[in-house]
Amino acid sequence: MRLTCLLFAGCVLCSVSVTAAIEPISTSIAVGMAAALTGFLARYQNVFYYFQECCRPEWIKYNQTGLKNDLNTKLYGQHVAAEVIIKAVTGFMNNKTPKKPLVLSLHGWTGTGKNFVSQLIAENIYEKGMTSNFVHLFTATAHFPHEAHIDSYKTQLQEWIRGNVSICPRSMFIFDEMDKMHPGLIDSIKPYLDFYDNLNGVSYRQAIFIFLSNAGGENIVQVALDFWRDAREREEIQLKDLETALSLSVFNNKNSGFWHTSLIDKNLVDFFVPFLPLEYKHIIQCGLAEMVSKGHVPDKEVVESMARDLNYFPKEERVFSMQGCKVIPSRLDFYI
């Protein structure tokens, strides 16, 4: 009788096997013991799973209520993005047999919550959120800085995606600064986003890819500004008001790596998610939340004096925050 345990994708898996002994009596004892041990393992196997993160439902489970709550209470001023995200992620996570991986492209001005939303998605799928071994964040300028090394980046990135998805099909890949990514590099990940049943024995259909960029940000700002100048509510802005602005800019911006690739032509992106520029009142909300997260009692006066000192555009009207909520964590310290 033999007890074998192995480590696979972070999970401890144990099994019991019996080799026939010469004497029939001891064989039957061994079989009996093995059956008992197998029963024990079947019952307590789950205990092993809690030791460390592994690719199982104990660690990877979509919380729809949680994501909805987070988008409604923690994300400020992004009603369009929130609606698209909850629809896209829920549809995909509830589909037992998706035909392709989920590909989201998040667009908008800097500091408006694109990384933050990716983090909220990760936290409501992976028990360990962004620190999960199955969530991978790549930043163009940090991970792929030198154009001369593009060929080795390509092989490396493909190897990483293949390796990680074969360990855990429900892997998430976030690419920040997508507009600064070399077109060749974007091209190299294209096969993984497509409708293939499998590529060399690995299926990518459970994976999630999220692209973040400022591409189209200026056109989104223009739409928001038009609404503001017409004295219409920001909440009246709908996805369809932004869709044309977004697609035109993405298609026409020859400087953005996106344009050079057929990501868009081939309909590999499932959802384009627009992020609106943030206003003074959202800066206040971010500031108050930041005070709480730093362990202070939220103080409106402190946050207001900080918010007043930030830069806003257009110059005369001062409607939208230049850096969004991005600089708040560091700025706030000077005002507390």
Ligand X SMILES: Nc1ncnc2c1ncn2[C@@H]1O[C@H](COP(=O)(O)OP(=O)(O)O)[C@@H](O)[C@H]1O
Summarize the annotated binding site for ATP as residue ranges.
108-115
Give DSSP secondary structure letters for 260-276: HSSTTTTT---EEEEEP
Considering beta carbons, is residue 60 or 332 the nearer one to ligand X? 332
**Strands 312-313 and 320-321, sheet pairing:** antiparallel
CB of 127 vs ligand NAG, minimal distance in Å: 9
Dist. CA 110–CA 176, nearest whole Å: 11
Residue for token pair 């730093």: 294
Binding mask 66-85 for ligand NAG (x = CB under 6 A): x--x----------------
The sign one gets for the Cα dihedral 316, 318, 324, 327 is positive
For residue 118, state whether it binds ligand NAG (rule: CB under 6 A).
no
Segment contacting ligand NAG (CB under 6 A): 30-38, 155-163, 196-204, 313-321? Answer: 155-163
CB of 81 vs ligand X, minimal distance in Å: 8
The binder of 112, among ligand X, ligand NAG, none, by C-beta within 5 to 8 A per type, is ligand X
- Tallying the residues shown for the chain, one arrives at 336
Dist. CA 88–CA 259, nearest whole Å: 24
The binder of 78, among ligand NAG, ligand X, none, by C-beta within 5 to 8 A per type, is ligand X
Cβ-based neighbours of 53, under 8 Å, separated by 6 or more: 10, 59, 127, 128, 132, 133, 134
For residue 115, state whether it binds ligand X (rule: CB under 6 A).
yes
User: Which 8-state DSSP code applies to residue 199?
Assistant: B
Considering beta carbons, is residue 157 or 332 the nearer one to ligand X? 332
The binder of 326, among ligand X, ligand NAG, none, by C-beta within 5 to 8 A per type, is ligand X
The torsion angle over the Cα atoms of residues 57, 60, 63 and 69, rounded to 10 degrees, is 150
Residues 83-112 that bind ligand NAG (CB under 6 A): none
DSSP, collapsed to helix, strand or coil, labels residue 306 as helix
For residue 163, state whether it binds ligand NAG (rule: CB under 6 A).
yes
Residues 263-302 that bind ligand X (CB under 6 A): 278, 286
The binder of 293, among ligand NAG, ligand X, none, by C-beta within 5 to 8 A per type, is none
DSSP, collapsed to helix, strand or coil, labels residue 315 as coil
Q: Yes or no: say if 274 and 80 are a contact pair by the CB < 8 Å rule.
A: yes
CB of 174 vs ligand X, minimal distance in Å: 10
Binding-residue total with ligand NAG (CB under 6 A): 10
Give the residue numbers of the binding site. Answer: 108-115
Residues 200-239 that bind ligand X (CB under 6 A): 212
Binding site for ligand NAG (CB under 6 A): 63, 65-66, 69, 136, 159-160, 163-164, 167
